[in-house]
Structure 1
Amino acid sequence: MPVPAAGPADMIGTMKVLVIGATGTIGSAVAQALEASHEVVRASRRGPLRTDLEDPSSLDALLDGVPDLDAVVCCAASGPLVDLATVTDDAFVDGIQGKLLGQVALARRAVRHLRDGGSITLTGGTFTAPLAGGSLCALVNSGLAGFVRNAAGELPRRLRINLVSPGWIKETLEGMGEDGAPGTPVAEVARAYVDVVEGTMRGHVVRP
């Protein structure tokens, strides 16, 4: 069960928020939404401030270079669709590395850099029905949910950790040439991230 919030928000007013994956569809929308009220530092694999979830040393360099953080938000995670019958062991492990282990590595490091009462928000995903090729992603998403729920009870200094797990994004479907109607508008998804950063929840999996 999620660990209940202990009281009112620890930080009121402007926060310094690091958004990783800030050039992607979700990340750019999240950064823009947060910038309405907070100082946002944008990082990505191909931006001026670079980092890669698959390279722990780049996470160390990023966090060392951005002091006094109140929140870390990771929107960079993505996982491949694989054929369960033919995927190799190495390819399966590679698929887990970035989205699952990379976000866990980020969270562990963020604990050492956040101000007291700060927050970590990771990104998972949601399938409403079994998806062809989706077993790897399902494993990663379940692993993230379990990690966040338990880690919430272990974090020191009133730190919070949560997971946002959107389903299909309307704009992503449209970019693939599909009907966007079944998807959630990215602005609505971004609002969920803002609510998590500004709120008091701990150990929750939020599905916008």
Structure 2
Amino acid sequence: MKILIIGGNGTIGKKVVSNFKNEDEVIIAGRTSGDVTVDISSSDSIKEMFEKTGKLDAIICIAGEAKWAKFNDLTEEDYYIGLKSKLMGQVNLVRIGQNYLNPKGSITLTTGVLATNPVVQTTSAAMVNGGIHSFVKAVVLEMENGIRVNVVSSDMVEDAYEKYKDVFPGHNPVPMNKVVNAYIKSVKGRVNGEVIQVSA
């Protein structure tokens, strides 16, 4: 398979790339580094990326940002960071990317535990994650050529535990192999329109 992994140089992305490259052709996309570069908040940048990659069998996105801050400190513009990047960025990857997928290809998006189990200062991020879950369930009703769309939603991963343990009190870190397996399930399996939850 020819697989594009957006965010392939990140904490989760590196482990996902390491798995798939054993059997498949992997193209890594990142904002500033990778085989190709992309700013997912820009439709033009997304189109340019796909023109460079050509036809694909699978697209995986493990990228996108949202502002973390206390609710009373968040401005309207702060919400637009997550709306433009993590939400519409991933929506546009589906909207544009479907045209570059071979029949029966797949698209895997990424959210996180905040959609269903938020912590403080995550109003914007939780909202965006929940929106992506609803989008995935709806968009599969209209996808053509056998294209599947899923989203991986993991609790805090073990490789980020030291950095985020104070933000996620009482959360059990998820082993990285379980996170990687969720992406394998989405790409290599037949699930469609699923929010693939990953917990410890």
TM-score normalized with structure 1 length: 0.87
Q: 1:167 aligns with which of 155, 165, 174?
A: 155
Give the unaligned 5+ runs of structure 1.
Answer: 1-14
What are the superposed Cα offsets for residues 69-110 of structure 1, whole Å, 9 maximum, x if unpaired? 000000012323121112111111122210001110111011
The CA deviation at 1:176 is 4.8
CA distance in 2, matches of 1:96, 1:19: 21
Greater helix proportion: 2
Secondary structure of the equivalent of 2:68?
coil
Secondary structure of the equivalent of 1:165?
strand
Secondary structure of the equivalent of 2:32?
coil
Change (3 A) 1:88 1:180: closer
CA distance in 1, matches of 2:73, 2:171: 33
Q: 2:137 aligns with which of 149, 154, 175?
A: 149
Which residue of structure 1 aligns with residue 186 of structure 2? Answer: 196
Which residue of structure 1 aligns with residue 63 of structure 2? Answer: 76
CA distance in 1, matches of 2:154, 2:71: 23
CA RMSD of aligned residues (A): 1.8
Query: What is the percentage of aligned positions where both structures have the same residue?
Result: 31
Q: Is the CA contact 2:31–2:38 (under 8 Å) kept in the aligned structure 1? A: yes
CA distance in 1, matches of 2:191, 2:117: 27
The CA deviation at 1:46 is 1.8
Change (3 A) 1:180 1:44: farther
Q: Is the CA contact 1:173–1:180 (under 8 Å) kept in the aligned structure 2? A: no
| AA aligned opposite 2:133 | A
Q: 2:123 aligns with which of 121, 135, 141?
A: 135
Q: Is the CA contact 1:33–1:191 (under 8 Å) kept in the aligned structure 2? A: no
Which residue of structure 1 aligns with residue 10 of structure 2? Answer: 24
CA distance in 2, matches of 1:61, 1:130: 35
TM-score normalized with structure 2 length: 0.91
The CA deviation at 1:45 is 0.8
Give the unaligned 5+ runs of structure 2.
Answer: none
**Higher RCO structure, 1 or 2 (CA under 8 Å, sep 6+):** 1
| AA aligned opposite 1:201 | V
CA distance in 2, matches of 1:45, 1:173: 24
Which residue of structure 2 aligns with residue 187 of structure 1? Answer: 177
